[in-house]
Amino acid sequence: MTAPTPEPSDRYYGNYYEDQPPAADVTQPRRKRRWGRRWIIALVVLLGLLVGADRVTAAVAENQLASKIQQSQKLSQKPSVSIDGFPLLTQVLSRDFGHATIDINNLVDQSGVTISHIHADLRGVHVSSGYNGATVDNLASTASLTYSAISTAVSKQAGIGQATVTQGTGNQVKVSYDLLGVAVTADVDVNLLSGNVLEFKAVKLNTPVGGFGLNANLFDSKIPLTGLPFGMQLKALQITSAGVDITATGQNVVLTGNSVTNSN
């Protein structure tokens, strides 16, 4: 029996019949995928360059601001300045910074008291032309004194020789003094007076042999903290295991030279 002759539309041409569409061209989708990857790579590289340029701008702005602060506040060393936010270039151009922090280490004030660390947290900083002054929407700062520095200051002010100050209970410290080989200690309240003055007021004297006729006020002293940067007006204190932390806060603070005022 003779096989039927295929219809013209079903004629076989080696690999396919005439009515069967040829295989799809896969070259075009592959090219599109390659171009897509190239655009993504280019975009990543561009973003990397922008971030790098912004960080360079941040470093320059931070260094310039630190130099201005050192000069205006008459600091012996340049403070550490960090400016947050991205992109920073727009903040530099407008001289309006959302958040900045300033850290100063081992500052010796005008009274000779060593302040181990000052940290200032500034939010909403509006810098004047030439970086010669600024207005800060909110300012929070902390000045930290170690017990070693406090011991030196208390010994000098009380005039009792070398005393040692350590942590007490609550808002108290313990002051110890060696009197003729006998340890004399006192529980001392720490208060913050107006004008940035630390007051140390003894409330209880502890001696092993009846006190030798000593009065507790032997340990009383007042330590002024003068010439603090930004004209810091101290508001509250906290006794810690490392020393005494004193805080200052303000709103709409105007910083010019070595002074600070509240505009409201």
Task: Please report, for the chain, the start and end positions of each structural domain, with discontinuous segments joined by +.
Answer: 12-264
Q: What is the pTM of this model?
A: 0.70
Q: What percent of the chain has pLDDT over 70?
A: 68
- Among residues 190, 200, 203, the alpha carbon closest in space to that of 238 is found at 190
Residue 260 has what pLDDT? 44
137-178 per-position pLDDT tens digit: 988 999 999 999 999 998 888 777 788 999 998 889 999 888
68-123 per-position pLDDT tens digit: 778 777 788 889 888 886 666 777 777 788 888 999 999 988 888 999 999 999 89
Please report, for residues 147, 152, 206, 230, 249, the alpha-carbon distance to residue 223 in angstroms, rounded to integers and kept in the order given: 13, 11, 23, 19, 21
**Which three-class secondary structure state does DSSP give residue 132?**
coil
Assess whether pLDDT exceeds 70 at residue 48: no
Assess whether pLDDT exceeds 50 at residue 63: yes
Please report, for residues 3, 104, 238, the alpha-carbon distance to residue 142 in angstroms, rounded to integers and kept in the order given: 102, 11, 10
Distance CA 243, CA 172 (A): 11
User: What does the pLDDT average to over 129-140?
Assistant: 78
